[in-house]
Amino acid sequence: MIFMLLESWRYPEELKSLYLLKKRQERSKEKRPINELAKELDDISFCYAVLDRVSRSFAAVIRQLPEELRDSVCLFYLVLRGLDSIEDDTKTAIEVRAELLRTFHLKHNDPNWSVSGIGDSNDYRLLLENYQLVISAFQKLPLDHQKIILSTCDQMGAGMCKYLDREVNQIDEYDEYCGYVAGLVGIGLSQLFSSSGLENSAVGRNEELSNSMGLFLQKTNIIRDYHEDLLAERTFWPREIWGQYSSTLSELKGLKDGRSTQCLNHLITDALQHGGDCLTYLKSIKNPMVFRFCAIPQVMAIATLAEVFSNDEVFRKNVKIRKGLAAKLIFQANTYQEVQKIFEKFSIDIFKKIPKNDPNSYLTASYLRRLVNKQSKIKEIDLFSKERSMLEKHAMAS
């Protein structure tokens, strides 16, 4: 806590948001061990208590959702958390994980099912060990919600299996993998929003926009987690991109000639292409609480991309935005106009950091331009893009 305060001491608004957020979190935090909770709480209370434990960022926004959606989204989160912790548990044999991933959706028909000793953290293991309570709460959800959740779980499990023993090489595969683990979440959530009647049916039908919402978040995490994933001997950066700058992925962190920064910025540019879709999606959301639920992760993502852009620290440690900044964004992302402003601010921050000699600078600037409000006074990005395109035409002609 002291570190968080020190980090934000120059930003009074962040300190205030940190204080408010801490107060809110303390009120909801259940401190007893998960196994004890499983014995004492009913199924749905257990699910919310575990949600607080396994999801630092989502628990609060899920609790604020309208009643028609709250339990379904809480269960959706826990089901996918269960699936993901099976995928990530590299200590368990691949065959065991593959079988579980393939059949996980079917377990939700068996009210007594649980599994011991699987999960890549203690909390995740305990979630799976007491999974019968998740299933019992799941079976009480509206049937159309159950169907959406299980269909997502089925497709995601199959997708995870496909990539369990192979690396992400081509950009197509990178998009496909991110689509399985995050795009499907966006699609499933949109279907839940429409099915609950809180959003119109077009939201649930537009799979492309929902997929982009997931890809923007997932790619941001993958970029930020370079160091952590390398230590855990996992890689999600696509070879088709990093191979242009280095002969191995781990070599990137030692390069002193700017190639690693170019590689990093290349990946960030690839993620930024989804930003425009995210704004379009958010503009279509009517319910204020559904809006906040969708917008908060997206503003965190654009802030993270601004933090990691041209930032070589990514190769040495896990770079994160200040907790105070995160807290401030949580309280700011209430309306489309506010979110648009946040996207604009961080887009301009990134724009200002584009190195002159960056091979992707034109593309980076053109994606950023889509995130800046047309009526805005800032014309810099337009000018920059025009200048670049003229230079490139000139280079091609000569």
Write out the catalytic residue numbers: 177, 224, 234, 293
Q: Which residues contact 104 (CB under 8 A, 6 or more apart)?
A: 82, 83, 86, 153, 157
Q: Does 89 bind Mg ion (CB under 5 A)?
A: no
Q: Does 14 bind Mg ion (CB under 5 A)?
A: no
| Choice between 88 and 167, CB closer to Mg ion | 88
Q: Does 120 bind Mg ion (CB under 5 A)?
A: no
Residue of 7, 30, 68, 88 interacting with Mg ion (CB under 5 A): 88
| Choice between 30 and 88, CB closer to Mg ion | 88
| Piece in contact with Mg ion (CB under 5 A), picked from 83-91, 125-133, 141-149, 249-257 | 83-91
What distance in Å separates the CA atoms of residue 58 and residue 339, rounded to the nearest whole number?
18
| Piece in contact with Mg ion (CB under 5 A), picked from 84-92, 148-156, 195-203, 285-293 | 84-92
Q: Percentage helix, strand, coil, to 5, in the chain?
A: 70, 0, 30
What distance in Å separates the CA atoms of residue 390 and residue 396, rounded to the nearest whole number?
10
CA torsion 249-236-168-123 (nearest 10°) is 140
Q: DSSP readout, 197-244? A: TSS-HHHHH-HHHHHHHHHHHHHHHHHHTHHHHHHTT---S-HHHHTT
| Choice between 68 and 229, CB closer to Mg ion | 229
| Choice between 28 and 318, CB closer to Mg ion | 318
Q: Give the Å distances, CA to CA, from 22 to 34, 102, 120.
A: 22, 39, 27
Q: For the chain, how far is it from start to end, CA to CA, in angstroms?
A: 58
Closest distance of CB 285 from Mg ion, Å: 27
Q: Does 382 bind Mg ion (CB under 5 A)?
A: no
| Choice between 84 and 382, CB closer to Mg ion | 84
Residue 382: burial class (beta carbons within 10 Å; 0-12, 13-18, 19+): middle
Q: Does 358 bind Mg ion (CB under 5 A)?
A: no
Residue of 43, 87, 225, 270 interacting with Mg ion (CB under 5 A): 87
Q: Does 199 bind Mg ion (CB under 5 A)?
A: no
Q: Does 229 bind Mg ion (CB under 5 A)?
A: no
Catalog residues that contact Mg ion under the rule CB under 5 A: 84, 87-88
